[in-house]
């Protein structure tokens, strides 16, 4: 069903473009540029509060770590590199050790997470940590002359690594722009979310350094340099343009357009096989951000095609992708069920990309079907609920008898730790678990989108509305949406593609005129009254999710949740065979099921809750679910 407001969208885009352009003409530079093509908008992080459930518990554990970690230890590599006193701090281990090539990458994630913590909760400790860090980075920048660095540079390794990157002699394994991207993104988040002007100054000074460093390089020299992982440099530079309105940053962003990756994607060709996965996903996000800055459809094609190819041909049942950090041949899923599947950063980045694309295409609920899958089945359970600092795994193993926190040593081989890991995935998890509310609700004119079913309270200030969502989803199959305030607006509720039907009621009465087809949005347009309650039920059932390359290898899902077999400490030498007709739910208050695999009783449980035991996700099968 088309919403009656649809005609307004092109007009709104035109008005935003017009306003943006006229501000350039008028010479305003400190202006937040509206995104080209936006059909919907996110709420401020502080507008949505998580209620008590697993998502809030994850957030709380991460917050505890964010507030307890020794900030001076995180500053160590910056201070040493810039010739300042380390203030007797102990150096970190892991990927922030003083001899680790891209030390100082993880700090940017802390900056983003502290900024998000402040934005969500107005938490003073997080604010103080973020702004202290930015001020200390400014001191590092100020001392650049004394240590022979050029203006604006700030990092935990010497600037000469960039000279080596440029002249092709960088041999220490560093990915210097990858690390600098994190610092830029972290500072931008502090600026955006707290208005701290020191963070803005350090950011723009470092961004200007990037401009000066890359401006003299030829196109070919730049393309060669881009063969070394560079994170989301195109994304953050486009974001600085969005934040400042200064087109200079867009020019810098476009220098990071990586032709070998973008050209095949623009032509919708899958050239993923063998490429390092998390090196690519941030580039696609950058393409989406550049589309929103320029309106050039090629960028949109690149971002959309990358999403489609990845989700359809390279993604495991839990929403993650990659094996040993790399993409494999199209549809090679069962062929790569190993202990190093699904690097977590890739899913963090895919969620960002999904959100960007959905905002341009808000009728398309498939984006949030994927989002829900990767968030629930991969990232929620990436964090160890038994750890008070919410430590995480790098990979999520999908081999028979796999276990979270067990994998090759170079990818962790264990859960992260307070001071001796600092892997990429530890950094992105800090961000994930401080913005779990950012994609539940969105708005467009007078339409409210409900994309995720997570207990929470939304304050929609422009409309004077508070919406309280109460649910035990995905254990329960209903969600209750209670409206406070009144007025004319439309509620768009995502009906997941996996359900067979959805039942909607308003104040206990059915809504026969509202279509609730799976894979679409149910739209309720009315004059809302204070206290109105919408209840939506998504009947859940067991289903199989086959591996693309072998229809006889399946994961089991119940509603949105992937289930796994609990094998305790038992090792599995081969894929177990699950009797599909043996699967029986143990009760409505959990996602536990009894089943028989290889003639033995096996408990199936929600995969997001599978920590501390050996599990099985992909099965050979006998029988059929119809009989279950
Ligand atoms: C590359 O740059 C490094 C750092 O400045 C320098 O030491 C080295 O001599 C350069 N190598 C070449 C081949 O230009
Ligand atoms: C930042 O400044 C903007 C514009 O003045 C304001 O709307 C916003 O509320 C401020 N944010 C914070 C966290 O103070
Ligand atoms: C991961 O799997 C590989 C290949 O099967 C194996 O050699 C390695 O020992 C495994 N690592 C762990 C920690 O189980
Ligand atoms: C499986 O569990 C059922 C019910 O608890 C029990 O009757 C049966 O003996 C068990 N089967 C095996 C093979 O352990
Ligand atoms: C597909 O999976 C089934 C069940 O595990 C297995 O028996 C079969 O050998 C697999 N087929 C291929 C081509 O790998």
Residue 463 is part of a domain; what is its CATH number?
2.60.40.1180
Structure token digits, residue 13: 């885009």
pLDDT band at 28 (very low <50, low <70, confident <90, very high): very low
List of residues 6+ apart from 492 with CB closer than 8 A = 3, 447, 448, 449, 450, 521, 522, 523
Residue 170 lies in a domain: no
Cα separation of 356 and 161, whole Å?
A: 33
CA angle 207, 210, 213 (to 5 degrees): 155
Say yes or no to pLDDT of 4 above 60.
no
Could you tell me if residue 435 is inside a domain?
no
Question: Residue 627's pLDDT is what?
Answer: 63
Q: Is 550 in the pocket of ligand 5 (CB under 6 A)?
A: yes
DSSP states of 366-421 = HHHHHHHHIIIIIIGGGB-TTSTT--B-S----STTB-TT-S-GGG-SS---SSS-
Please work out whether the CB of residue 194 comes within 6 Å of at least one atom of ligand 2. Answer: yes
Cα 32 to ligand 4 centroid, rounded to whole Å: 63
Task: Choose the final residue of a domain: 537, 560, 582.
Answer: 537
Nearest CA to ligand 2 atom 2: 195
Residue nearest atom 2 of ligand 3, based on CA coordinates: 339
| Residue 614 counted as domain residue | yes
Confirm or reject: Cβ of 584 under 6 Å from ligand 4. Answer: no
Q: 89: which residues sit within 8 A by CB, 6+ positions away?
A: 70, 72, 73, 75, 76, 79
Same domain, 451 and 521: yes
Residue 512 located in a structural domain = yes
453-472 pLDDT, tens per residue?
Answer: 999 999 999 999 999 999 99
Q: What confidence score (pLDDT) does residue 432 get?
A: 98
Identify the domain boundary among 494, 509, 537. 537
Q: Give yes or no: residues 487 and 510 share one domain.
A: yes
531 & 549 share domain: no
Average pLDDT, integer, range 23-30: 36
- The percentage of residues in the chain with a pLDDT greater than 90, rounded to a whole number, is 93
Distance from the alpha carbon of residue 327 to the mean position of ligand 4, in angstroms: 41
Q: Find where tokens 């696609």 sit.
A: 284
Q: Compute the distance between CA of residue 505 and CA of residue 527 in angstroms, rounded to an integer.
A: 16
Could you tell me if 499 and 548 lie in one domain?
no
C-alpha torsion angle, residues 33, 35, 36, 37 (rounded to 10) = -160
- Percentage of residues of the chain with pLDDT beyond 70: 95
Instruction: Print the domain residue range for 447.
Output: 441-471+477-537
Tell me how far apart the alpha carbons of residues 580 and 627 are, in angstroms, rounded to a whole number: 8
pTM for the whole thing? Answer: 0.95
End-to-end alpha carbon distance in the chain: 35
Considering the domain architecture, whether residues 549 and 533 belong to the same structural domain is answered as no
Q: Which of 577, 573, 592, 580 lies closest to 556 in space, CA to CA?
A: 580
Please, which residues have CB within 8 angstroms of residue 197's CB and are 6 or more apart in sequence? 191
- Residue 152 domain flag: no
With respect to residue 373, please indicate whether it lies within any of the assigned structural domains. no
Q: Is residue 243 included in any domain, yes or no?
A: no
Is 458 in the same domain as 532? yes
- Do both 533 and 504 map to the same domain? yes
**Of the candidates 318, 351, 75, 68, the residue with the CA atom closest to the CA atom of residue 60:** 68
Kindly indicate the confidence band of residue 628, based on its pLDDT and cuts at 50, 70 and 90: low
One domain for residues 489 and 448 = yes
Residue to mutate (ligand 5; options 332, 544, 553; most atoms within 8 A of CB) = 553
Residue 434 within any structural domain of the chain: no
- What is the total count of domains within the chain? 2
Query: Do 596 and 520 lie in a common domain?
Result: no
Last residue of a domain, one of 491, 510, 537: 537
Ligand with minimal distance to 164 CA = 1
Which residues approach ligand 1 with their CB closer than 6 A?
160, 163-164, 167, 169
On whether both 485 and 523 belong to a single domain, the answer is: yes
Residues 461 and 524 in one domain: yes
Same structural domain, 447 and 501:
yes
């Amino acid at each position: 069903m088309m919403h009656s407001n649809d005609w307004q969208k092109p007009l709104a885009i035109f008005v935003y473009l017009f306003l943006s352009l006229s501000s350039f003409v008028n010479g305003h530079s400190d202006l937040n540029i509206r995104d080209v093509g936006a059909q919907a908008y996110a709420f401020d992080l502080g507008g949505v509060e998580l209620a008590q459930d697993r998502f809030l518990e994850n957030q709380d554990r991460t917050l505890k770590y964010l507030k307890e970690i020794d900030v001076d230890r995180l500053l160590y590599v910056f201070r040493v590199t810039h010739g300042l006193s380390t203030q007797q701090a102990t150096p970190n281990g892991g990927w922030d050790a003083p001899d680790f090539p891209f030390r100082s990458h993880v700090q940017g994630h802390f900056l983003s997470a502290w900024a998000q913590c402040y934005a969500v909760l107005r938490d003073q400790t997080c604010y103080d940590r973020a702004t202290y860090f930015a001020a200390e980075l400014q001191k590092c920048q100020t001392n650049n002359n004394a240590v022979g660095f050029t203006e604006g540079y700030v990092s935990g390794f010497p600037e000469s690594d960039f000279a080596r990157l440029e002249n092709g002699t960088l041999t220490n394994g560093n990915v210097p722009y990858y690390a600098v991207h994190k610092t830029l993104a972290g500072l931008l988040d502090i600026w955006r979310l707290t208005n701290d002007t020191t963070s803005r100054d350090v950011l723009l000074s470092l961004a200007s350094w990037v401009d000066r460093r890359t401006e003299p390089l030829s196109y070919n020299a730049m393309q060669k340099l881009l063969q070394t992982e560079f994170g989301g440099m195109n994304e953050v530079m486009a974001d600085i343009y969005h934040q400042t309105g200064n087109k200079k940053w867009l020019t810098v962003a476009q220098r990071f357009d990586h032709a070998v990756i973008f050209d095949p994607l623009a032509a919708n060709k899958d050239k993923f096989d063998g490429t390092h996965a998390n090196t690519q996903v941030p580039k696609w996000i950058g393409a989406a951000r550049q589309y929103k800055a320029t309106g050039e459809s090629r960028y949109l094609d690149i971002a959309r095609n990358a999403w489609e190819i990845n989700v359809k041909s390279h993604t495991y049942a839990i929403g993650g992708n990659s094996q040993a950090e790399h993409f494999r041949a199209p549809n090679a899923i069962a062929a790569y069920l190993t202990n190093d599947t699904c690097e977590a950063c890739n899913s963090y980045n895919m969620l960002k990309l999904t959100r960007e694309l959905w905002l341009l295409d808000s009728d398309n609920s498939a984006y949030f079907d994927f989002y829900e899958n990767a968030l629930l089945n991969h990232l929620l359970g990436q964090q160890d609920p038994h750890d008070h600092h919410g430590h995480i795994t790098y990979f999520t193993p999908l081999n028979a008898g796999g276990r979270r926190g067990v994998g090759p040593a170079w990818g962790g081989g264990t859960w992260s730790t307070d001071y001796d890991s600092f892997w990429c995935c530890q950094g992105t998890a800090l961000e994930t678990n401080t913005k779990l509310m950012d994609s539940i609700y969105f708005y467009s004119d007078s339409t409210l989108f409900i994309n995720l079913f997570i207990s929470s309270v939304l304050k929609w200030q422009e409309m004077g509305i508070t919406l309280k969502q109460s649910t035990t989803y995905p254990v329960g199959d209903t969600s209750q949406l209670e409206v406070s305030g009144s007025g004319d607006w439309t509620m768009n509720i995502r009906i997941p593609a996996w359900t067979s039907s959805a039942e909607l009621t308003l104040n206990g009465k059915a809504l026969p005129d509202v279509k609730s087809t799976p894979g679409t949005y149910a739209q309720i347009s009315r004059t809302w009254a204070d206290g109105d309650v919408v209840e939506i039920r998504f009947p859940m059932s067991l289903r199989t999710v086959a591996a693309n390359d072998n229809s006889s290898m399946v994961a089991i899902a119940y509603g949105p949740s992937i289930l796994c077999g609990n094998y305790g400490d038992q090792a599995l030498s081969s894929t177990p065979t699950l009797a599909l007709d043996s699967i029986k739910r143990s009760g409505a208050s959990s996602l536990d099921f009894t089943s028989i695999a290889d003639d033995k009783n096996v408990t199936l449980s929600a995969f997001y809750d599978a920590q501390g035991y050996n599990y099985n996700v992909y099965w050979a099968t006998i029988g059929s679910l119809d009989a279950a």
